[in-house]
Amino acid sequence: MSASYKLVVCDVDGTLVNDRKEVSPLTREAIELFRRQGGEFSLATGRIEKSVAVFCRDMAISVPVILYNGAKIYHPQTREVIRNLLLSPEEVNQAAAMMLDYPFDFIFYSGGEAYILRHSSAIGVYEKGDGFTCVVEPDISQILNREITKILMIGDNRFFSDFREEFTSNPACRANLVQSEPAYLEILPQGVNKGDALKVLADHLNLSLDEIICFGDNLNDLEMIQEAGIGVAMANGREEVRQVADIVAPTNNEDGVGTVLKSILEGKNV
């Protein structure tokens, strides 16, 4: 069974790590077993370079990782950039024009940094979870002059559909909007999602999608799970993701990734 699979790609939050942001010993053991059998391990996350660096070092990741929910593919060791897509100036300006109308905190990602206009408690929680500090830039024009990879809105998800409808009513705004966490709505470059990025990564590594196992929990993982040879959703994940998965794993607090990966490697029915 294991010889059929060459790569495991794993979401980070709610999937690879438990609620304490730790990778469990059982999951580490399963990943190491997969490597000893000739496989590689990578990540697919909404996080940025500096936020995944600790995982890349800790888990000795030696292949490119998918960042910004698919907008960037980056090799953590060589720093080679395989993919780097950007939002259009019209899309960035439209989001900025809507800032005062919605109760969200906005984060703009550019050049490996995350820019905010001001600090808030929600931003503080985000920084703690992702392990880095945002750059405060109170002059929005300075942010808008940058090349923007992604925009994250943090706030009450009851307003997400209204924001989405207003944003996409502008014909110049063809970006992809995805809810990556209950309180997170992201604006990504047109056509960007983890599934699309997985195809690019597979091609770069000369792999077929059938040779890849993917793990995820949230709506931003849906396309990736559908594209993979085996798509695994976490029991703690969204129902929509569980419905399209080949396997539903135990939760991220119950060694879900490690449990399922070991079962696949051992050829067990899962």
In tens, the pLDDT along 167-204 reads 999 999 999 999 999 999 999 999 999 999 999 999 99
In tens, the pLDDT along 36-53 reads 999 999 999 999 999 999
Determine the distance from the C-alpha atom of residue 240 to the mean position of all C-alpha atoms in its chain, rounded to a whole number. 17
pLDDT band at residue 1 using 50, 70 and 90 as cut-offs:
very low
Consecutive H or E run containing 118: none
User: Pick from 154, 84, 92, 143: which is nearest to 121 by CA?
Assistant: 154
In tens, the pLDDT along 119-161 reads 999 999 999 999 999 999 999 999 999 999 999 999 999 999 9
**Mean per-residue pLDDT for 59-81?**
97
User: Pick from 40, 38, 50, 45: which is nearest to 17 by CA?
Assistant: 45
Please determine, for residue 2, whether its predicted confidence score (pLDDT) is greater than 60.
no
User: What is the layout of strands, in order, in the sheet containing 135-136?
Assistant: 135-136, 113-116, 104-110, 150-155, 184-188, 176-181
pLDDT for 268 equals 73
pLDDT band at residue 269 using 50, 70 and 90 as cut-offs:
low
**What is the Cα–Cα distance from 183 to 152, expressed in whole angstroms?**
10
In tens, the pLDDT along 73-123 reads 999 999 999 999 999 999 999 999 999 999 999 999 999 999 999 999 999
222-236 core/surface letters (b: 16 or more CB in 10 A; e: else):
bbbbbbbbbbbbbeb
**What is the Cα–Cα distance from 109 to 162, expressed in whole angstroms?**
23
In tens, the pLDDT along 210-268 reads 999 999 999 999 999 999 999 999 999 999 999 999 999 999 999 999 999 999 998 87
